[in-house]
Amino acid sequence: MPFDLDEAVIRRLSRRLMVNLPDASNRAKILKVILAKEDLAQDVDLESVASMTDGYSGSDLKNLCATAAYRPIRDILGKEKKVYASVSSESTNMTELLQLNHLYGEGGSRKKQSFSYIM
């Protein structure tokens, strides 16, 4: 959002361009680019998805695709009786790993470096 930018940054920009949100046909093109390397089911209708995403930016569409990719994983994990975790959180090994992580990992003496430019 342009309102989120610092005034000092805005003053240094030589031009200000307004970029509108994509219409349905451009959203369909964006979806095709985002999903170009993915194995989609035959019945996926990107034109229909594009028509349902009015007001979405290219970034919003990318986030939508990433969220949709996790849905099957959630469905599998939701069926607890069929799929179990390989390590129980109460197991001795897990307890030892958590203690090691606390002492030497992110929670311990090593401080995690935070870079403001990495998301």
Residue 30 near residue 58, CB atoms below 8 Å: yes
- What confidence score (pLDDT) does residue 119 get? 46
Q: Is the pLDDT of residue 33 over 90?
A: yes
Residue 50 near residue 27, CB atoms below 8 Å: yes
CATH topology of domain 7-73: Helicase, Ruva Protein; domain 3 (1.10.8)
| Chain centre to alpha carbon of residue 86 | 26
Give the domain ranges of the chain.
7-73
* Portion of the chain with pLDDT greater than 90, in percent: 35
Note the pLDDT tens digit of each residue in 55-111.
Answer: 999 999 999 999 888 887 777 666 655 555 555 556 666 677 777 777 776 655 555
The burial class, CB within 10 Å (0-12 / 13-18 / 19+), for 61 is: buried
CA distance 108 to 41: 45
